[in-house]
Structure 1
Amino acid sequence: MNALAGVIFHFIGGFASGSFYVPYKKVKDWSWEAMWILGGLFSWIIVPPLAAWITIPGFWKIIQNTDASTLGFTYLFGVLWGIGGLTYGLGVRFLGVSLGSSVMLGLSMVFGALTPAVYYFFNKVEGKHGIDYFFTDNAGICVLAGLLVCVLGVVLCGRAGMLKEKGMAHLSAEAKAGYNFATGILVAIISGILSACFNFGIEAGKPMADVANNVWKGANPNQGEFLYQNNVSYIIILWGGFTTNFIWCFFLLLKNKTITDYRKTSAPRLKNLLLCALAGTTWYLQFFFYGMGESRLGNGASSWILHMAFIILISNAWGIILKEWKGVGKTTYNTIIIGILTIILSICIVGFAKTLE
């Protein structure tokens, strides 16, 4: 039952992450940097402490009593993840929701799932799996198989993107808008690697989550693990993410003289604000539900793979709904569909692996 609940929570989180950029596409007459930083205020500054306040009584005292080293590393990984998140927005802009998300999150999935396992192989920690787990344990082998199948799905989605570029002359103006494969794929690689740092940030901030978990379990004996324990760690990780994004977006606002976008009379300012708030809040909800899924499955490779796979799945579904593949040839369209189905298969494999533990 815990495994099923964990998969469901990860699906909801993946749906939130795979859907967050959709409201941004409806923002009118604002530059990318103007809407991105405004949405980020909700994602990284406003919503996280509000969520912690609702779910973890005394969350601020936990932060105050945490040692500087833990806070520093958690924040540092947040800064690095912030670069990944920043370039994620650019990757989606150049490649579209489906292809951009597939490449970036696929790389993030691989690095986020395997790198901590390499660390724990050389630095043994109770309850954490080393890289040998994926080659010596039936559940671990199944998780690795699911990861490889998901990578295959990502490759197929990438193949569809290259086929799409070759047929650009035949695409509709709606499908062409903003598409730049060469620039987008470079940005996507950077984003995919650095986005994995969020998982490292969760690991670094685990002492804070453990305090929240132990306090809750003391007040609720025999109730299992605390669903919202990671909400306190998210505050520090997301401060790091905000730092990176604010510096870059503020630079662009000054460089491009787009800071005046907020005063444009041609822009539907209230509507744009609400859309950015919706996008930012939806972005945060992926972490909220990831924490719930992690509390049921553990913060291991399976949690990270499921989360990333669901985001890739939903992003590609939105890409089809938003007609990013409108006008492409039959081979291209079939390739993206097969890629999506392959990712769904990988989700089933990783979910099944939890039943073998």
Structure 2
Amino acid sequence: MHALLGIIYHSLGGVASGSFYMPFNKVKGWAWESFWIVGGLFSWLIVPPIAAYLTIPGFFDIILASSSQIFALTFTLGLCWGIGGLTYGLGVRYLGMSLGNSVVLGFCSAFGAIVPSIYYNINPTAGKVSFTDMLASSGGQLVLVGVVVCLVGIALCGYAGMLKEGELSEEDQKKSVAEFSLVKGLVIAILSGILSSFFNFGIEAGKTMAESAALLPDYLFEGSSHLFQNNVSFVVILWGGLTTNLIWTTILSLKNKSYKDFGNKSTPIRNNILFSALAGTTWFLQFFFYGMGESKLGNGASSWILHMSTIILTANMWGIYRNEWKGVAPKTKWTITIGIAVIIVSVVIVGLGNAM
């Protein structure tokens, strides 16, 4: 039952993550940085502490009581992840829901499985698996095989994008993805995938805060403190993400003078704020449910892999809905389909390796 609930929670989180960008498509007349930071304020500043307060009322005391080293490491990893989250939005902006998510999340799945082990190779910690341990074990070797398979899937998706770019006119490309740019999108998506994986390690870094939350008396129902324990560390990680995104969007707003969007009465300001808020809230729900799933499965790395595979599937369903591959040759459709399938297979391989 614990495993089944964990899978259900991760699936809900994956659907939320794979769907969150859709409300942004309803925003009219605003620059990307304008709606991104409005959504981000809900994702990283407003909703997380509300969720933490409703589930773990003493969450802030736990954060204050944590050591400066743990807080700094968790926050710093949030900063790194914030760059990945920032460039994720750009990757989807230039590649579309289907191709953008496949590339970003493929890299995110792969590096999310190996980045923590590399860190523990440099800084050995009792009970933690290092990269050397991975090389010496059959499970670790299987994880690395999965990473290679993932890169093959990403290459196939990239090739499908190249075929699409060659087959469709610029006008047809922009019907489904308004700012389609393959080269720019792939570079950004690769960077995003690598840095986005740091969220998984941020969860591990802040594990002592989560464990302290799990020891508190249950507030909502029996077992609720254990179920929602990760909401505490999420607050700190997302503070890091907010810092990165706020700095960059402020720079863009000043450079492009897009701060004027918020007072531009020729645009539907109220609707734009509502859709951005909906996108941001939906985005946070991915980790709200992720934390619940991880508390049931008890394996951060395997939870991460399951989460990523659900997002890839959901995002590609939205890509089909938005006709992002409409009008391309059958070969191109088969290429992107096989690429996505290979990425999902790699996720399964990495999950099995982590379980071993």
TM-score for the superposition, normalised by structure 1: 0.90
- Cα RMSD (Å): 2.7
Contact 2:213/2:225 (CA < 8 Å) preserved in 1? no
Partner of 1:30: 30
1:17 is aligned with what amino acid? S
Partner of 1:47: 47
Q: How far, CA to CA, are the matches of 1:191 and 1:315 in structure 2? A: 16
Identity level (%): 54
Partner of 1:175: 176
Listed as ranges, the gaps of 5+ residues in structure 2 are: none
Partner of 2:191: 190
Q: CA deviation at 1:155?
A: 2.8
What are the equivalent positions in structure 2 for 1:1-357 lying under 5 Å apart?
1-121=1-121, 123-131=123-131, 134=134, 140=140, 143-144=143-144, 146-169=146-169, 171=172, 173-175=174-176, 177-216=178-217, 226-349=226-349
Q: 1:347 to 1:107 in 2, by over 3 A?
A: closer
1:255 is paired with a residue of what secondary structure? helix
Q: CA deviation at 1:332?
A: 0.8
Q: How far, CA to CA, are the matches of 1:277 and 1:219 in structure 2? A: 26
Once the two structures are superposed, what CA deviation does each residue of 1:49-81 show, in whole Å capped at 9, x if it has no partner? 001011112111101111111111111111111
Q: 1:126 to 1:12 in 2, by over 3 A?
A: farther
Q: How far, CA to CA, are the matches of 1:99 and 1:344 in structure 2? A: 14
1:286 is paired with a residue of what secondary structure? helix
Q: CA deviation at 1:143?
A: 4.9
1:97 is aligned with what amino acid? M
Q: 1:147 to 1:13 in 2, by over 3 A?
A: farther
Q: 1:172 to 1:201 in 2, by over 3 A?
A: closer
1:212 is aligned with what amino acid? A
Contact 1:150/1:309 (CA < 8 Å) preserved in 2? no
Q: 1:144 to 1:219 in 2, by over 3 A?
A: farther
1:3 is aligned with what amino acid? A
Q: 1:301 to 1:256 in 2, by over 3 A?
A: same
Range that drifts further, 299-308 or 70-79: 299-308
Q: How far, CA to CA, are the matches of 2:135 and 2:73 in structure 1? A: 30
Q: How far, CA to CA, are the matches of 1:134 and 1:73 in structure 2? A: 24
Q: 1:176 to 1:32 in 2, by over 3 A?
A: closer
Q: CA deviation at 1:7?
A: 2.4
1:11 is aligned with what amino acid? S
Contact 1:120/1:131 (CA < 8 Å) preserved in 2? yes
Q: CA deviation at 1:122?
A: 5.6
Q: How far, CA to CA, are the matches of 2:282 and 2:148 in structure 1? A: 29
Q: 1:214 to 1:346 in 2, by over 3 A?
A: same
Range that drifts further, 317-326 or 124-133: 124-133
Q: CA deviation at 1:6?
A: 2.2
Q: How far, CA to CA, are the matches of 2:237 and 2:99 in structure 1? A: 27
Contact 1:172/1:326 (CA < 8 Å) preserved in 2? no
Q: CA deviation at 1:124?
A: 4.6
2:26 is paired with a residue of what secondary structure? coil
Q: How far, CA to CA, are the matches of 2:84 and 2:227 in structure 1? A: 26
Q: 1:283 to 1:63 in 2, by over 3 A?
A: same
Q: CA deviation at 1:166?
A: 1.6
Q: 1:132 to 1:220 in 2, by over 3 A?
A: farther
Q: How far, CA to CA, are the matches of 1:335 and 1:219 in structure 2? A: 48
2:247 is aligned with what amino acid? I
Range that drifts further, 126-135 or 188-197: 126-135
2:208 is aligned with what amino acid? P
2:195 is aligned with what amino acid? L
Listed as ranges, the gaps of 5+ residues in structure 1 are: none
Q: 1:256 to 1:119 in 2, by over 3 A?
A: closer
Contact 1:3/1:351 (CA < 8 Å) preserved in 2? no
Q: How far, CA to CA, are the matches of 1:218 and 1:262 in structure 2? A: 40
Range that drifts further, 200-209 or 276-285: 200-209
2:41 is aligned with what amino acid? L
TM-score for the superposition, normalised by structure 2: 0.90
Q: How far, CA to CA, are the matches of 1:216 and 1:134 in structure 2? A: 38
1:261 is paired with a residue of what secondary structure? helix
Q: CA deviation at 1:136?
A: 5.6
1:61 is aligned with what amino acid? D
